[in-house]
Amino acid sequence: MIRYADTNDHGNLRQTVLVKVETVDGVVGWGEGIAMWPEACWATKTLIDTGFGPLLTAAGEISVAEAWEKMRAHAWWYGEGGIACFAYSALDMALWDIEGKLQGKPLYELLGGKAHESLPAYSSSHVNRATRALCVEEIVGYRAEGYRGAKLGFGKRGLSNIGQDPDNDVAFVRELREALGPDFEIIVDVGNGVKWDRDTGIATTRRMAEYDIGWIEEPFYPTRVDDYRALKAALPNMPIGTGEREFTVTGYQRLIETGTVDVLGVDPSRAEGVTGFTKIDALCGAAGITINAHAWSTAILSAASLHLSLCSPNARLFEFKPIPVVVQTDLVDEPIRQRGGRAYAPTRPGLGIEVDEAVVKALSPIHI
């Protein structure tokens, strides 16, 4: 478990779980389970240390696919979502990193090759400045850095009240569109900090749609399927995004079957790993919907998500934390950064990154 202050989250402390897997021949792979809350991170670490880790050690030489199935089967009682998924997602990611190093191939080659040489780079930020004008200024600044679009987290910690007053929210989107012009995509991530009822969600989304937003993400709690159906019926041309809080391939299948989602957010550090992401991506392809990899944590997750996104014909952009933070800049030898408004995958074997274990140690709570 590591802990760090995130400048993208108003300086608040965030936690995540990193796992290092080493073969008998000394080949090392890294993975991440983005449990975030301290107690969830400790529980994830316990499952890895006392459950899944010994399980894989005892299994001996098996394929990544076999390891994935073995971990899922092991968690048959307490799994199918939740803490178990964080744990074996991290291990699955590390095993793919090892497999790439053993074969001398980057992850994107192991997954069948790239569908895109690069993807448009989008800033993914929390709207938390003190005034609307400062919030607009921040996003305009990201465009100047080269980003091609922005996903905006509403209702987040900080000085802003964006997400608490629909009139203010719509005014912010209007002012942002006026400042950015027509050629910069705006995505509104409503998220858990905003509590819209059905009527408010539909009415506010309708008003925001006048300013050409790319999609509206999680305007309601994910389980409020009837509200999503009502929004889709009221605004059939407005793409709806959701999925970041789902855990399993079968869970995503059920979500797709509701007919309410156009953009599926998938995090390989919680949604059954790299293997799970590829299976969910196949479901997206069959359903004709977009997949959007969550990568809002460390450079380990960013590397995995970027490889997966570039391999998917269903992906159309890649999100970055726009403000430098230690788990992106210092944790690995070659940070994952946008170049000229585009996202390119590392080309070295596996995830294509080397983790600085001194940084891991420095960020770990002292009693680990």
Question: Nearest-CA neighbor of 350 among 39, 25, 97?
Answer: 97
pTM of the model: 0.97
Give the SS3 label for residue 34. Answer: strand
Is residue 335 over pLDDT 70?
yes
Question: Nearest-CA neighbor of 93 among 124, 59, 54, 52?
Answer: 52
Is residue 343 over pLDDT 70?
yes
Query: Average of pLDDT values for 233-247?
Result: 97
Please state, in angstroms and rounded to a whole number, the distance separating the CA atoms of residues 251 and 266.
11
Structural element, H or E, at residue 189: strand 185-189
Angle at 99 between CA 97 and CA 101, to 5 degrees: 70
Domains in the chain, ordered, with CATH? Answer: 2-104+356-363 (3.30.390.10), 110-343 (3.20.20.120)
Task: Say what percent of the chain tops pLDDT 70.
Answer: 99
User: For the chain, how many residues are written?
Assistant: 368
Q: What is the pLDDT of residue 185?
A: 99
Q: What is the pLDDT of residue 158?
A: 80
Is residue 274 over pLDDT 50?
yes
8 Å CB contact between 186 and 206? no
Q: What is the pLDDT of residue 15?
A: 97
Please state, in angstroms and rounded to a whole number, the distance separating the CA atoms of residues 41 and 194.
25
Give the SS3 label for residue 15. Answer: strand
Structural element, H or E, at residue 264: strand 263-266
Provide CB contacts within 8 A for 237, sequence distance 6+.
209
Q: What is the pLDDT of residue 146?
A: 98
Please state, in angstroms and rounded to a whole number, the distance separating the CA atoms of residues 326 and 356.
11
Please state, in angstroms and rounded to a whole number, the distance separating the CA atoms of residues 138 and 163.
17
Which pLDDT tens digit goes with each residue over 151-208?
A: 999 998 788 889 999 999 999 999 999 999 999 999 999 988 899 999 999 999 999 9
Is residue 289 over pLDDT 90?
yes
Give the SS3 label for residue 234. Answer: helix
Q: What is the pLDDT of residue 160?
A: 84
φ, ψ (nearest 5 deg) of residue 34: -85, 65
Please state, in angstroms and rounded to a whole number, the distance separating the CA atoms of residues 294 and 334.
20
Q: What is the pLDDT of residue 65?
A: 98
Q: What is the pLDDT of residue 366?
A: 66
368 pLDDT band (50/70/90 cuts)?
very low
Pick from 1-10, 44-53, 112-121, 341-350: least confident: 1-10
